[in-house]
Amino acid sequence: MPTFTAFTTLADKTRAETMSEAMEHLTPEPTGVGVFEIEDGSGLFEIGGYFIEPPDEAALALLAKAFEARDFVISELPETDWVAHVRRELAPVPAGRFFLYGSHDADKVPAGVIPLAIDAAMAFGTGHHGTTKGCLLALDRLADQGVRPGNVADIGCGTAVLAMAAVKLWPGLPAIASDIDEVAIETSLANLTFNDLAGQIDCITCAGFEDPALAKAAPFDLIFANILKGPLIDLAPDMAKHSAPGCFVILSGILNTQADEVAAAYQAQGFEQIVCDVLGDWTTLTLKSTKA
């Protein structure tokens, strides 16, 4: 089945989100629409839609003009067996004591590791990226230092791989994972079953800490947030509000050039930077709450 994409950019987040909502009412309607901040310092937001039949170019042109966006770039993607592609491209990832792998590589899991299985058909934030690996290495370091949290939150969880890593490291650890994307939560729940962790992590759909379940479970001793610079900075006050004294916070999704800005936002909320890890173009920050 062919897939078509239509992308444009504009410089205002609110208008970008409103434009994405308007795209959902096009005919033919898109199968998915998203808004993403372009992390290059330009201040632009990308609005994109996916279609299973050719989109209405005239309607898209009118939409771009109405919102003062750039002209849409429309492309037809070649038909691809994405599961087969993932299986070819995503090799197992060792990260300290953790070992991430796809179901097709189950025979490659070495002895003495904590395995984290992500099925190729669920490849959504599989850990084959410097940000997720950086978070796992930071978690591995905390465990080596004798840290034992009482509870954990995984904000913007994707596949919930970080929450799963913590629960596998400390069996019985109360854990909650949240994501704004319902598909991510469905993927997380499937991965919990895939890793024999069904029912051991609460998975909820919400932005940041907005769900009452997070307030009820707080304060947390360990919080992961592997998202993007902008949302991380916006979350800093809520992160402080939901943190216990001495809480460790592991942040990633941060380009190396953005690390100082993110760290400063958290230091302003009472966190001290413990470690700054760099993997390729990406930085992972480990911070600790200084509140009494």
* Residues 195-209: tens digit of each pLDDT: 999 999 999 999 899
Q: To the nearest whole percent, how much of the chain has pLDDT over 70?
A: 91
Average pLDDT, the chain: 89
| Separation of CA 117 from chain center | 17
User: Radius of gyration over alpha carbons of the chain, in Å?
Assistant: 20
- Contact between 285 and 251 (Cβ < 8 Å): yes
**Residue pLDDT, tens place only, 138-160:** 999 999 999 999 999 999 998 89
CA distances to 65, 66, 74, 81 from 49, rounded to whole Å, are 17, 17, 9, 20
Pick the CATH number of 3-77 from 3.40.50.10320, 1.10.3720.10, 3.30.70.260, 3.40.50.1370: 3.30.70.260
Predicted TM-score of the model (pTM): 0.73
CA distances to 3, 145, 153, 238 from 175, rounded to whole Å, are 38, 21, 6, 18
Q: Has domain 127-289 been given CATH number 3.40.50.1820?
A: no
What is the bridge-based pairing of β-strands 175-179 and 152-155? parallel
**Residue pLDDT, tens place only, 83-108:** 555 555 557 889 999 998 877 777 88
**Residue pLDDT, tens place only, 37-68:** 887 778 899 999 989 899 999 999 999 999 99
* Residue 267: pLDDT over 80: yes
Q: What integer pLDDT is reported at residue 281 of this predicted model?
A: 86
Judging by beta carbons within 10 Å of its beta carbon (0-12, 13-18, 19+), is residue 194 exposed, middle or buried?
middle
Considering the chain, tell me which residue range(s) the CATH 3.40.50.150 domain(s) occupy.
127-289
Of 96-110, 203-217, 265-279, least confident by mean pLDDT is: 96-110
**Residue pLDDT, tens place only, 162-184:** 999 999 999 999 999 999 888 88
CA distances to 47, 57, 194 from 20, rounded to whole Å, are 6, 16, 34
